[in-house]
Amino acid sequence: MTEAYIIDAVRTPIGKKKGGLSDVHPADLGAHVIKAVVGRTAIDPADVDDVIFGCVDAIGGQAGNIARTAWLAAGYPQHVPGVTVDRQCGSSQQAIHFGAQAILSGTADLIVAGGVQNMSQIPISAAMIVGQQYGFDSPFGGSKGWTERYGSDEVSQFKGAEMIAEKWDVSREELEKWALQSHERAKAAIAAGRFDNEIVPLGDATVDEGPRDTSLEKMATLQPLVEGGRITAAVASQISDGASAVLLASGEAVKKHGLKPRARIHHLSARGDDPIFMLTAPIPATQYALEKAGLTIDDIDLVEINEAFAPVVLAWIKEIGADPAKVNVNGGAIALGHPLGATGTKLMATLLNELERTGGRYGLLTICEGGGTANVTIIERIEA
């Protein structure tokens, strides 16, 4: 039976807005992690079948197929192609899926999958802002089919987060407690060196820059995004810069190149949900994935669910019945940041290392995505 294996996974430190990675060209950010994963696994880059990278707002330095540009900026062979994926916040997780699917189909043996995002240089929604000069006020306005189905109300992650908090009756205090825990867990993980094996420093950027000293008292002073609402900046993910990459291989490639797999892809899938709520799809996506994989949530040893906003995680925990002690154990995007196109493979690197550290078997990764979709990847650790 054909298998898709994870050989290694790396990431840059996550830089905060205008922080240590803000001046690095996106192609060089991507090239840095590509060179790291190639170097650490000692593969011949000429043997790579494809480079699949996630990126959102592909304009400026992120335009022109950043997967291909980053590979070439790394100095590697021109015959290796590249393709850029945009599934919003889950773009590099989808890159893993596409790479694994190519391997499982027998059409590829070695894939570099990853993602890159420099949000300091190219702000979130920059592509839409540029689109305004062409007469578009939003991606949806002007579409007869969309308007007939969903109306003309605001479509945004902020509105979606607020709607989720209200529907699942998650209080502002609960949201802020989760956010504080995210910072505390992240700082503890950094102090303990839990990210050391996945981070490849770049210049002066050697450690994640996002975690900060905060408290429930400080969070309580912030104004909500909408009057009377529950969402504040304290319970949202941070604007970040970074890149990440994994090397995927077939069983044949493992033997041929003498590689040592760290995990196998046990399951991969994606599902959709209400695009106005936008951020709820990890719930049905996880339910679907567990059923297809023949597992229950109790079989999962560790979970990485992207902390786009705290209510996303807390609503998911309520619906799935997950043990919060297994979820984002080293902190999440509220503390560590969310470099959109790079987050999927960044979280995969963290999940893989934590499974190895704790001796767990199964890890589950899911990310809410613009448009109301979510990917789920379940990996099984391979014992050394």
CA R_g for the chain: 20
In whole angstroms, what is the distance from residue 314 CA to residue 319 CA? 9
For residue 34, give the H/E element and its range: helix 26-41
For residue 253, give the H/E element and its range: helix 251-257
Work out whether the CA dihedral 222, 224, 230, 231 comes out positive or negative.
Answer: negative
Strand partners, 250: 4
Mapping DSSP to helix (H, G, I), strand (E, B) and coil, where does residue 136 land?
A: coil
The active-site residue, picked from 55, 89, 183, 266, is 89
Strand partners, 118: 241
In whole angstroms, what is the distance from residue 269 CA to residue 13 CA? 28
Q: Among this protein's residues, is 55 annotated catalytic? A: no
Go through 98-118 and write b for each residue having 16 or more CB atoms within 10 A of its CB, e for each that does not: bbbebbbeeebbbbbbbbbbb
The active-site residue, picked from 32, 55, 266, 368, is 368
In whole angstroms, what is the distance from residue 49 CA to residue 111 CA? 6
The active-site residue, picked from 97, 183, 266, 338, is 338
Q: What is the DSSP string of 113-165?
A: EEEEEETTTS-TTHHHHHHGGGT-SSSSTT-HHHHHHH-SS---HHHHHHHHH
Active-site residues: which are they? 89, 338, 368
